[in-house]
Each structure stands twice: as structure tokens, then as C-alpha cells.
Structure 1
Amino acid sequence: MSSPSEEQQPTHYIGIGASAGGLEALQDLFANTPSDTGVAYIVVQHLSPDYKSMMPELLSRHSTMPIQQVTDSTELLADHIYLMPPRKNMMIADGKLLLTDVVPDNPPPMPIDFFFKSLAQNYAHRAVGIVLSGTGSDGTRGVKALKEAGGMVIVQEPDNAKFDGMPRSAVNTGFADLVLSASEIGASLVKYFQHPFIAGNTPKDYENDDDNQVYDEIFSLLKKQSSINFSQYKASTVARRIERRLSINQLNGLNAYHRLLLESPKELHTLSKELLIGVTRFFRDEAMFDYMQGKVVPELVKGAMARDQSLRIWVAGCSTGEEAYSLAILFKEYIEKEDLDCKVSIFATDVDSNAIAEASTGLYAEDIQFDVNPERLEKYFEPRPGGFQIMRSIRESVIFATHNMLEDPPFSNIDLVTCRNVLIYFQQGAQKRVLSSLFFALRYKGFLWLGPSESMGDLKSHFDQLSERNKLFQKVSNQRVPIGTHPPGLTLPGRPTAQLTMQPFSSSMRSPKPVANGPLSIVQDRLLREFVPSCIVLNENFDAVHVYGDVAQFVRPIGAGKISNNINDMIHEDLSVAVSTALYRCEKCQEDIFYTDVTLSDGEGKNKSIDLAVLYVRSGERDSPVATVSYVLQFQVNQVDQESDERYSTTFDAAESSRQRIMDLEAELVKKQEHLQVTIEELETTNEELQSANEELMSANEELQSTNEELQSVNEELYTVNSEYQEKISQLTELNDDLDSVINATNIGIVFLDESLAIRKFTAVANQYIHLRETDIGRPFHHQSHDLKYDELINDIAHVSNSGEVLEKAVYTKDETAVLVRILPYRNSGGRISRGIVLTLTNISRQRFVEAALEKAQSQLRSVVLEGSEPLALERNRKGIRVMLLEDDDVDQQRMKRMLQSSGRDYEITLCSTIDEAVTCVGNQEFDIWLLDYRLPGGTVGDFLERIGEHSTPGILMSGYVETDLEPGFLEAGVYDFLNKDELTAELLVRSIDFALERKKVQRVIDGEGLTD
């Protein structure tokens, strides 16, 4: 097959997704869409695999465009409608539609998502996705893919749809460009395609010297609205998205759009959202995540454990958080599988505060089940109404914050940075700045993960590329790379650099850097050295965080190996009991503790007596949940003349204190053990019950979920089938009404009997002969009375039912009306004879009347001929026959005149159009024959005959009306024959005239006037 010509190729490709209730929506859409838009329409539906769809036939009544059922490799042409077949998934590539079989035993098929993703991937901004009526969420993920590629999305107004599941789910993504009723979509598409920017006819005055200034003003509005400087984004991307908004809003220039942005905050928000392109999903690019799981995750975890530090990850441009949570799940799986003890901290940042707020909740729609495998979904997600929520332990491992990579400072000491599909939207200078920030953030041998279309640029020499396909890099240089200065005006006054609360570093013992070198700072340092005793500041875990003075004599020497800053590991052996006891009492009582005369050996055989104090320091209110507790461990060597404050201090007896401490600890331990045992037993019992109940619930839930999915799929298919059947029934009802009208117009009585000879249906005319009512349907026919003089009617019906023969009889009714009764076997659509019966009753009184008149004339003629003394002279070739034609229709006048003139006879024809003209003509001259129309202006031929009175001229009546409209007394008034205009021929007309003239002669003989004229 040859490829379509350039004129036949579509300018755009429109994917239309519909499910339950979609037939009506599709009819409304195409009924209001012109057939010359130059685009291709591809309809994707949920179809039953066991049902042959009538969609092409049903849609053809609402559109003049050719409608085609798709086969594999169907080439797309402009102004055509293509329908996806059942049991298939469909994709588009190179102007062709490709079909694949649906894989059985998989999750419910999502053919709309499948096609939309293919459409977005292949045609980007030339793609349009339309979501119509349906249940579920099919199409939602496809809508996101279309928006990411720059396509257009139109959704049917949920309140206008028969089933609002699919439209509402698509609207909730926030990516719908237009939300319209099905009947409005066609007109909007036409306006969109005819817009100069879409049609390729950009106005000449669009590009001018003021454009850059207008762009700057638009960027300024966006920055005020979202605090984002979009001037650093790629000009082509920004321009294309602004032009698309121009097309949707039917505006012709930047100035007009700038005015709209000034007047419409909603449009400003929409443009900002479009430029941010916040599209992502769980485990996006599954092959890349598999590579991470196999190669990178183990190495990162082992490296962090070797350093005895937590693993730090930064997800830059996290959007709504799916990728950050995906990494959290990946690391948690590995740590649990290897039974390791490693803390993972993930910092997820994005410039969009709305996206960050959404990500923090961890709530996602049901369609994530198609991105997350069932095991992970069950283990790390909790069902919620309308979707799922990430489990609490995963959410707690991820810290979300608003952060602008172009303006805000980066994090530091990061083991893994992911920044995927963000750099491609920045200009080159902005890309370099961001990459420098990411380089600074990474620790040596840290990993950087970019998007498939991104590269390292000038920093390539500072990284090893571990996977070219997966764009994974490892930092191999510690060389300082300047981040780069920000352009003037980038940072808004008063804006915080990063809305992120960082945890304090665990490397304590580090003195804070002075904030200034002024005189006050020097005085403070001198006061601290001279008057503050030697002390160690501890946090709530008894880890040393700061030291004042010289505490070398009170702590142990630092040995080789791992260093711990916990006070119990640092304190001198002689002071360990006193310090631990004091700290225990201080923590328990929440008050300062003072000990005196604590003995400390100086290592040379001499002992010192020191005073020991533990000060309780609490920040914030006592009951505040965010208050922090610190302890100050203070040491002071006693002098001989030093006086101690006996009000608060206690002489420290090491032996007594040790014994008391041991007794307290033992008592507390026994109590804790007893309480723990009881708790464990209760917990085990409860856990067993919960586990059993949970297993049952899980099993039941899986079965219900599977059943629900199957029922939902079947329900959608049944509804689609039902919609098509309803449409077909509507057509059949209309055809049946037409058939009834035709049958009634024939003035023939018809009775339908079933195989048991019960009444199935009848026409109103049948009531004239057989006494039937609507309530008689279903009753045996022999129960009905009738006016026919036909005693063998029931027997004849039974005979036809058994033999299949056709029986026809002419009978009379009780009022002497002649009726032709025909009894026929019923034939079905295949032509086969069933045991049903069709009974027809036709009034043949007119035929009998004519026959009787002819028989009477024939009898009279025979009598004259056989008994008369002279033979009857009939002049068949008589010349100059005078004819008056009374006919009000000019066409019929000329028609009959031509018939008479073409017969070869000599007729003198006088034409009259009204009764008055005819009466005048008859009064002024004689005629041999009258040709009379039945219906005339102001009356009928009866009125004419009545006004003429007694006459001897024979007449022939002509009419297009049925027999019941005529008056039987016309023959007695001199009308000798009746001709139907619809059946009239020249031969029949001449023969009828001859018959009338001959009969007139016979009548004259009968009347005694003789045969000679």
C-alpha cells in the first residue's frame, strides 16, 4: 500500500477515550464536528471481547467522515475516524496504528492510557487527548504523559457525562486544558486548529521589537505569583507553551495575552503550572530503578555503614514526591533484606510549593497500582478512600522542602543526588549553575543520577559515567568548582533561601565559629576562659556536644579505633559511677544535682577531691512537645580553703552511692521485667489474633478486589453493548412505526398469529371485520367473533398452518361488503416458513361493483344481440368523437390529452378545470363522452352531476383515490366506468371510451330508441 500524500496526512492526531456511556458522548462530539478539520480521530473504547460492535454503523448517522475498524498497520488519513477492535491494545507510530493482543490474567486493561502514552511519545505537541464518559481512571496516566510531551488535553464535563469516573479522575490531575460538554468539544477543536499559531500562519505583527519586553513583563508577573524566575528556562519551551495558551484562549498576540494575565489570576496560575511541567510517577523508567537496585544501592549503604554515618540523598525537582518515595522503598527493601542497621535521610525539594504540600501527605490516586507492583503496594501503602497513602515509616524518612536550584544554596555531604528531566528545561547558563551546585552537594565518590536527555557538560571530567543508558555518574574529583554568581535581581528580598529544617550534625565537640571579630566577641571569650568552670554540655542522649575549659583530667585519653562522644564512654573511670548516678537522678527528677568530695586519681598515686554538678537545662516551655533538654556536667577541684554550699551539695560516698545505685537499678529492673513479661504475653496474644484476622482480611480483600475489577470491566463492556443495542432498538422502533404507517395506508386488515394460533398482532383495519381489542393479544384466535360469512375460517387457518399452502377466498360480511381473505404461512427473516399465520382482509366491493356493472351490461348486450331483430352496429372507428375533459390538474389534463391524441382516433377535446366551466360547456354544446375527475375545486363530480340533472351523455370517472372515497350511485347517474389515474394508459383510456359509447348504444336500444343515430 502506498503512503498517503501530503494532503492526506493529518496535521494533528486526536485520541478519544471512552467507556461506559461513551456512545452518546461520541455521537454528540462527531455530530458537532466538521468533516474537514484535516486531523485524524482515533477512538479507544472498553469493548467486550465476545461482542461484535455496531459502533461504525451507529456513528455513521452522526458524521459524514469515513469510519474504519482498525487492523494492524492501518495508515492514518486526515478527516477519518478509526475505531479500535476488541481484545487488542493499540499504539501509534509513523502514521500507522499498530495492534497487540491483550495479555490475559493481568490487571484490568487500560487501553486508553496505553494509546495516549504512545500518542504523546510519537507526536508530542501535535497530539490531542480527549477523555469522555466512563468509569474508573483509565486515561488519567495518559493525560499526564500528553501534558509532559506538550500535547493538548480536553475532558468532558463530569456533570455532563453519564458516568463521571474517567472525566473526574482526569480533571483532578489538574492537566486538563479544556473541560467542556461533549457537544462543545468539536467547535473548540476547530477554533484551536484554525488558530494561526497552530495552523502555522503566525500573524506578521506577532514578532516585533516589543516582544522581549512583553516576555519580561510576563516573567515578572509569574515571579510575583510563584517566586520563580522563568526567564532562565529555555526560550523555545516557554514560547511554545505560551503560544498554546494563546491558541486555547483564542488570542492573536503577546500583548493580548499579557492583558489577560493581568486580568485573570487563574490564567496566570495555569501558565505557571504549565511551565513547571510537574509530571512524574512511581518507579519511573523501571529498567533504571532495577539498575539502581542491583548496582548503586548496595554500594551506598555499605559506604555509609563504613563511615558510621547516615546515608544522605537529595531528590532535586521531586514534584509530587513519587521518585523520592520510590528511592526510600528501594533502600528500605535492601536494608531489611540484608538485616542492616543504616539510617537513610532523603531530602526532596521542588520549586513548586503546591507540589511539595501534596507530596508531604503521601496520598496518591488508585492508578499508582499500575506503577507499583502488588507486593510493594501491599507492604508500603495503606488503602485510603479513592487511593493509597505511603506508610508512615517511609514518609518519616523523606523530608520535603521548597527549594529553587537556580537561587538557593545546595545541600552538602550528599551520597546520591537525583535530578532527572529538570535540566532540559533550563538555558545553558542555568544548567551550568545547577550542575555546579549538584557537584558541590556531592561527597567524594557520591552518585549523580540525571535524566535520559541530560549530560554533565563542562563537568564531565569530574565524573565517571557508570551507565551511559541510565545516565548515572560518580564524582571522582574533590576539586573546588565555583557554583557561579546569580544574575542580578534573581533573589527576592526577604525570601528564605530554603524552607527546610536540617537536623544538627552528630559530630559534636566542635566549637561554634564566632560570628564576628569585634570587641564584644573578644570580651566574651575572655570571660568564658576566666570564670566559667570546666564543663561538658550534653544532649538528651548524654552525647557531648560542646566543651568549655580544660576537661582533659576528667576524661579518658582517646585511643585508636572508633570514637564515641557519649559521656559514659568518655568520662574517667574514677568518675563514672558518680557521673552516671548524677545524670540518672537529674534526668529522673528534672533538677540540678550537686556532689562534693568525689575522689579522682591523678595517675601518679595521688588523689584529688573534686565537686561534681549536673545542671538541667530545658529550652522552651516544660510541656512543649518541641522543647529540647541539655545537661551541663561541671567539674571543680576542691582547694583546702574552699567553702562549699551545703544547702545543695551532698558528700559523695562512693561505696554507699554504689550500693544504693545498684539497689535502685535492681528494683527498677525487676519491676520493668515483670511489666515487660506481662506486656509481651499480651502483645503475643494480640499479635496472633491480629495476624490471623489480618490474613483473613487480606485474603478476602484480594478476592474482593479481583472480583471487583472483573465486575467493573464486565460492567463497562455490558454497558457499551447495551448502549449500542438501545440505539439499534431505537432505529428498529422507528422502522417499525414506518412499517405500521405503510400497512395502515394500504387499508388492508392484517392479523398475525403465532404457532399456537394465538393473536400476536393486528392492524386497526382488521377491526372492521373481526372483533379485536388490544387486550386480545395472546388469546386464541378461535375465541374471537367476526362479521364474515366464512364458517370454515378456523379450519382453513389450521390447514394452512399444517400444510404451508396459501389460501385465498372472497367472502361477504353481514352487511354485504365483499372481502378478499388471504391466509398465508409466516416467513421469518431467513425466508423459512414457521408455523405462524398471516391473515389479510381486503375490501373488494369496488371491484365487485365494477364486475357487476360489466356483467349487467354484458347481459343486456347479449340479450339485445341474441333476441333483437337487427344486429347491433358498433362504430369502433368512429371519427370526430366529442370529449369533455373535466380535470383541475394541468399536468393530468395534458397527460390525458396526449393519450387521446396518440391513440390514432379523432377526438375533439374540450378542457374544463372547474365545475362551473363544465356546466357552461354542457349547456352550450353536446358531447359524446365526459372524462370526469373525482375531486374538483369546490366539490366532487357528484356536485357536477347534480347541477346537470338528467342527461344522456355517458361519463367515465377518473381518480387517484381509493374505493371507499367514491360514491356507488355514480353508475346510476350515467357514469359507466372507473379508472385509477395511477394505472391509466392510452390503451386503457381508449378501450374505456369505446366501452362507454357501445354501452350507451345498448342502453338506447334497451330504452327503445333504436340502434341508428
Structure 2
Amino acid sequence: MEPGLEELIEYIGNSRSVDFRGYKRSSLRRRLLKRMEEVGCDSFPAYRAFLEARPAELIELLNTVLINVTAFFRDAEAWDALREEVVPRIVARSDASGQPIRVWSVGCASGEEPFSLAMLFAEALGVEQFSRRVKIYATDLDEAALSTARMATYTPREVESVPAALLERYFERGGNHYTVARELRKCVIFGRHNVVHDAPISRLDLLTCRNLLIYLESETQNAVLPRLHYALAEEGVLFLGRAETQLARSRLFEPVDLKHRLFRKVAQSWRRGRADMGQMSLPALPGHDSQQLHLLEALVDSASTAFLAVDTVGTLVLANAAARRLLEVNENDVGRPFHDLVISYRPAELRGRMEEALRLRRTVRVEHQEHFRSPNESIRLTIELTPLSNGALQPQGVLISVQDTTRQFQLQQDLDVAQQELETTVEELQSANEELETTNEELQSTNEELETTNDELQSANEQMGGTMEELRRQTEESAEYRRYVEAVLRSVDGGVVVLDGSLVVRSWNRWNENTWGLRAEEVVGRPLDEVDIGLPVSLLAEDVQRVLSGDAPELETALEGLDRRGRLLRCRIRLTPLRYEDGALRGVVLMLEDITGVTRGKELADYLGRSAGSSHHAALVLDAGTLRFRLANPAAEQRLGYPVEHLQQLTLADLLPRVGRDALWPLVAPLVAGERAELVFEASLRRRDGETAPAVFCLHHLGSEDPPVLVLQLFEAAGRVQLDAEAGPGGAPPDTVG
């Protein structure tokens, strides 16, 4: 067991009224660790501190620990068996006796199970008879789930398991949800209940407790089953979940349908009827006559201490005369379930402590509990719960002894008060002496403080002078930084415009002044759409808003306009968000670049491409640095057998099967360097189908392009020596270059 787990469970039970002590430790630990991981707690003591600091965390913990897995008619075959084998018998028994039908759904979660039961009985009885004769109690430990259940509203996905006819008859459609009909809702009563510790609902015809017991320790299961047995009326039926097999060997229930976990209550011969419970019955003792039995009863009744005895099934079997006087228990209460009596929960909750005494096999003591005998009279009671066992050490019940300790409690209170007053007096005397001693010290220190005040004032004046000097230095640094930023903006070969969140211009650099003819002082502080320049900035409004709202991290566009000299220019405009160190979006930065020359260069390249594209000869464009193909005209695609998309993945060396890049590049390098105007050579050319044929290669270098390119034209070979012929002396190829 990990340290702190039991203490955490105990804390939740004592301070939050949610008792997890009976839950299986493996499952409970796993759910606790899941929630701890979600809130960042690395140990059980740390999570306990987290709970203490945040009371609302208990709701989230319950949502994690209480696994509310449910559905309408979950395990449809089991519900069919319930409808066919159990519901008709319950209805017939109610018809014969004239008694209402009582149903209890334990662990109802968000309400699907009790409303499924309501639909079954409404189908069997009719809605009108169902409303008059059936009461369905639905309980759970999770308040959030109960709130959902009381709403009785479900999504289309949640009602998928409801048969179409029942969905039409018992649900009302509203928008994108379904609500259970009012006739069914008013017969289902939801409430919070702990089946382990709280008193069970009684006289039930049907009790459903599906997939709840599997989360409890075996010891807790054995404590819950007698409660369920007590809750059922004679011939009452218990409906469990598919995974729960606890009743297969139980003497409290007999199977109705073992496969679908339907069980009937078995009457216990050792449980006496109410008519026989008027007074305590003692077993016959060998060798003793009835006079001795009466002597024992008189001995118990003559005791000044109140005694109550409760057997293992929770029935009161003994209440002596002192108990009847002190606790308002009469002889008719003997034989009743102990949890039905006021003494079981007032002045202290005794049911849980009885189970504790039996579990731990030791006496549990509760001291000085306040008990009101009348509205104006209260006494103090000390209660001891002692487990009883037979010679074989088997539990037989619990003996509850109650003593009036009002006088002792009052004396203890008076003693505590007197002790506290004495301690207070001593502390006050000690404090007075210490105050007298410190007064003299304070008077002496006052003079010293007055003397130091002047020094402190002088020091403060010096510090103020230093502060002023620091402010002056910071002001100079700020001015220098501003001049530095302005110099950077002036040196940028492009326009920089900074807009704030209201689209007001906050920065306007030198490039803008030279290009558009407006100085910074004429523009800064004005909205961008009011700035009259030769560029149609109104067309940027939509893009600026997209960047400012965070919809786009960066945008780029291009506009045409007239500079201050009337010259037509084309500007590339990049819009980026202006963010501070905290990540907040504070505005937009516009960076303008004159791309008039670039555009014209591209138009020229397009023209060259169109010229090559119309040629009957194969023409290709290669990257001058990598010799990778970039463009190809249709004649080149036809001759080589490759589409242009495939060619863009190849280099020139890939089409020369017997010439590697190492031999090709020294030949091309002088052309790229501008040392030659063109390069012509003959080599074997490999097509896509694998065939090779001699061809003439004519290369031209266009160094003015950005980036530089090579233009390759292919011709049929006509009497030239091949480049890939046998190398001459020294490994150099023969003279094949034209």
C-alpha cells in the first residue's frame, strides 16, 4: 500500500462525507492516480493538500472515481428476460394484493436505468395505471450525475438503444435532444444515497444494482448483500449486472434466471416475525431453569448503564430498562431494524461504527455526544460499541453501552476553563514583566533612533540624487536607442510602415519618404487610409484586418502605383504581425519592396520560354549550378519520352549513360564562368525507354537571369566525334567540343 492512500481515503470520508473505504483498492487507486495526474499532484499527501485548498475539486474527483457507465436497456437480453419473466409476476402480485409497486435503482448514474424500468412497467400497465401504482426510487452517490438525471434530457446518441416504438411513445423531441415524458418523470424519485452506510429503502418488489458490487471489496459486498435482502419484500427480485456473480452461492437469494443475473429473495427462518419481537428471547441454558433466566433478565434490567444489543443482520434484540428510560426505546422496538430507530443516528451515527467494531473486533468509543431529551434539555452521552462473538470467535452482534456523562463532561469543561485561565494569568504576569523591561530599552533606543534619523535623511537625499542621475542616464540611452532604430529603418532598402491596433501609422522610414514624397512627421499619427500616396493602400484593408485578428500569420501581395515623380512601379508588400515580448498582438508591420525590375526580368524569361516552346528543336532550361532541368518544350518531352515534371527530377548527367558528372562539369564550367559564349558537343543520349542515340548538345549561359540558367538545344548528330568515345592519353576526352 502506497504511503498516504489510506489517510487520503479517511480524510475524504470524514471531511467530505464521501466514504470510499469499501471500494476495491486497485480500482480506487487507479482512478485517484488518474485525477492526480490531471491536476499535477505527484503523491497522495500532495493531493490531500490540494483537496483541502480547493473544496470544489471534490466534484471533479467524484466524476473521475464514480464511473458512470450506463445506457438505456444496457445488455438488451437481460432486459428482455426482466420484461418477460419478472415484470408480469410483479404486476400480477400487485393486482392480487392491491399494494403499489415499489422499485429501487441503486447507482442510477444519469438516469437511463430507472427510466428504462419506467418504460417496462408503463408498457405492462399502461401509462395511466403506471402513474397511479408505480414508484421508482433512483439513488446515486454522485450529485452531478443526479442533476443530469433529474433533467431527463438526452442526446440522439444516448437514446440510440431505445426501441423506436418506445422512443416515439415516451420521449418528447425538442431541437437536438429528447426529454422523457412527464408521466414517467413524475414517478421516478432521485436522491443521494450510499448503499454501504445509509439505511436501505424497504418493501421493494424489484431492486436493480447493476455493476456496482464489482467495485467493492469482498468484505463490503458481504455487508451490502444483507441490506439488499432486507430491502426486498417477500418474493422481491434483485437484478444484478452481467459481471456480478456474488449470489451464485448465497443463501439469501435463489436464481430466477442465473444467466441474466435475476435473483429472488429467500425468506430466512432465523429471522422472527414482528409479532414475536415484543420482548427479548434468551436461549435455554443447559442445567438452568426458567427462574435463572428471569434472574438474568432482571440483572440486565437493574444495571444503571443503558445496554442495547444488535445482531449481525442489524436487528435490535435487547434493550434494558436503563436504555428505555435514557434513550426513549420501548419494548416494541426490540426486534425492529436498528437503523429505523432514532438512536442509530442521534446523538451520533452508530451504524458505521457498529460495522467498524465488527470489522476490527475491538471496542469503539464515542465520548460526550450531545443529546437533546427535549428542546430545552440536553445531556452528554458516552457510547461504547463492543463486538460479541461465540466460543468459536464468530461474530454474534454488537453490545452498545450508553452512559450519561453530563456531570463528568461539565466538570471536565470547568477544569479545562480553570486551567486555561490559570495559564492565561501566568502568561499575562510574564508579559507584564517583559513589557517593563522592554520599556526602558525602548526609551534608550528612541534617542538612538532620533540621532540616526538625521543620517537616514541625509542618505535619502544622496539616494535621490543617485536616482536622478540614473533617470538621466536612462533617458540618454533611450534617445540613443531611438536614433539607432531610426538609422536602421533609414538604411533598409525598402519601405517599412508600422501600424498600431487602430491602424494608425507609428513608423515611416526614409525609403517611404523618398518614394512617396511624404515626410514622417506628415504621416505618423494618421490612420493609414487617410495617407494620400501614389499607392492604393485602401486595397490592403482586408489583408491588414486578417493579420491583426490573427487569422493569418503572414500575408504577401503586390500593388501597382506611381511614385512622387510619376514613375509607374510595382511593389511587393509583406504584412506581418507586430508582437511584444508577452506575445500580445499590438499591430501590423508592412514591408514594401520595389519589384518593377524583377517583374520585367520575369516577363523576359517568360518570353524566352515561349520562344523555346514554339521551336521544332528540343530545348531545355537547366539550373547553372546543379545542371538540373527546370523547363522543357514539347519537342524535348517528345524526343526524350519524359514529361516535364519527371525531367525536373533529373540532371543532364542522368541522360548521358557513358559520361559522369565528374567528366561533364569541367567541360561546362568555362561556359558558366563566362569564358566561352557557347558549348557544343556530341554524346550518346538515353531516352526514357532505355534506347540510346547520338545527339548534338548546344549550351548557352544566361547569367543575367536570377538565378542564372543554361539553355540546351538538342540536334541530330551529323558527322561529329562523340564525347564519350575512348579517352585519349592522360584520361582526357578527345577534342569533341565545337
TM-score of the pair, normalised by structure 2: 0.41
TM-score of the pair, normalised by structure 1: 0.31
| Structure ranking higher on relative contact order (CA contacts 8 Å, 6+ apart) | 1
